[in-house]
Chains A and B, each alone.
Chain A
Amino acid sequence: MNPEDQQDRIDAYLSGQLTDPERFEREMRTDPQLQSEMEATRMALDAIHISETNRLKRRLQKLENEAVNRQEPPQAKVVSINRKRNRSRYSYAAAATVLIVVAAYFLLRPAAQNDAVLAMAAFEPYDNIAFTITKGATAGEDRATAYIAYERAAFDEAEAAFRSLSSPSAPDRFYLAQSLLAQQKFAEAAPLFEELAGLDDFNLSQESEYYAALSRLGLGQRERAEATLQRITTDANHSSYAEAVDLLEEL
């Protein structure tokens, strides 16, 4: 066999594309030259892998450093619309547009409707960090169905799926409440978030408190929403501190 064909077979074996790998392995056991070529190829591929991985890693580290260097100490008030996102020029523009729309509503709509608009402008569905979705999990795994719908932003389907769970956990109820809030079902979302906010051993209880305030605001219960937001702003370590401060200033 010429060296090119042999190398092609070695490459195919190493990438798992050889049709009869057992035969190749038998050949290798009886052919020291083939075995030696195989080992050398393996080392060469490791060299390529390490070198390129290091290059890609440096590329991402550079991005990271640039991102960190761009973060300057706050000098002026910024009204947050999109939570936990990169605040690019475009997001500021989007935020400004939303604020103009919200301001227009303030002038033209009754108070309760204004509050609902304000609540939804400040709302962004919380990312799914509670459940990972695996291959084949869609057929018959109820929780998976619910979270897949949630990730697709099909909140009505997510609501139905979460409600059908026989023993929903606290995270399940949190994402049910998120699905309700996303559909502006404030009256159903508010008590659910308030219940979750009161749980001692739930790691999204602080976020729940903030979303409870948004839900109350959506219902036009501005005083109650403000009271919750005030409470959040007394704790600088509260996970929703920045959002609460921003929203209070808007109110």
Chain B
Amino acid sequence: MQTQLEDTTLFEAIKRGDHHLIDQLYLQHRDAFVTYAQRQLYATEADAADCFQDAVIAFYKNIVSGKLQELTCSIRTYLFSIGKRLVYRRNKKRQREPATDHEAGINPADELDWSLIDRFEHAHQQEVLQTAMNKIGSPCREILTLYYYHHYPIESITESVGLPSDGATRIKKMRCLKELKKLVKP
């Protein structure tokens, strides 16, 4: 079991923008969640793993967006809470036998911004938007993603992308966004 100290260290590192740590999150808790979801939520292994991937991403997104600023329970508890809800939705879609939510009313997932998670399922025009992102190319894609998704400060983006100054990065970001807006406008 992950200790509180290890959880806090990992949480702080993710907050600082190390998105590669989602691999660690996934590998550390995947087996336990899949076992739990199969036994308690009637999920298949494939569905449980798929939902857990979404749970890890949603957890990460809530941290970097500042929606989740401090841990109030273990990381595993958060991941299980989000993953469990995603499995419920999946089961409902598949009209599988609904599991009884014996934890109804108390759930750390309530602290999270579900609009960040709902977009996984409700993003219509996904292909159009993905195509627009592909079209803007590099380094626009990197700059916009680091700024708007991973919430990197401008100084870090300057360093990551290799632009000469923070001012140049700001201008480039504006131009890239303008181009993307043109591409996605209906």
State the A residues within 8 Å of B (CB): 3-4, 7, 15, 37, 40-41, 43-54, 56-57, 59-61, 63-64, 67, 84-86, 125, 127-137, 148, 151-153, 203, 239
Chain B hits for A239, CB < 8 A = 39
CA distance A153 to B48 in the complex (A): 27
CA distance A137 to B185 in the complex (A): 45
Main secondary structure of the interface of B (DSSP, over half): helix
Contact of A151 among B1, B49, B56, B184 (CB under 8 A): B1
* Given A47-B129, A50-B119, residue A86 in contact with residue B108 (CB < 8 A): no
Q: Interface stretch among B9-17, B69-77, B87-95, B157-165?
A: B69-77
Contact of B49 among A56, A64, A86 (CB under 8 A): A64
* Given A44-B180, A49-B149, A56-B22, residue A134 in contact with residue B73 (CB < 8 A): yes
For B23, give the chain A residue with the smallest CB separation.
Answer: A63
CA distance A53 to B54 in the complex (A): 9
Contact of A60 among B53, B73, B111, B123 (CB under 8 A): B53
What is the minimal beta-carbon distance from A208 to any residue of chain B, in angstroms? Answer: 14
Chain A hits for B145, CB < 8 A = 48, 51-52
* Given A43-B184, A133-B108, residue A49 in contact with residue B3 (CB < 8 A): no
Chain B hits for A60, CB < 8 A = 22-23, 26, 53, 56-57
Chain A hits for B133, CB < 8 A = 47-48, 50-51
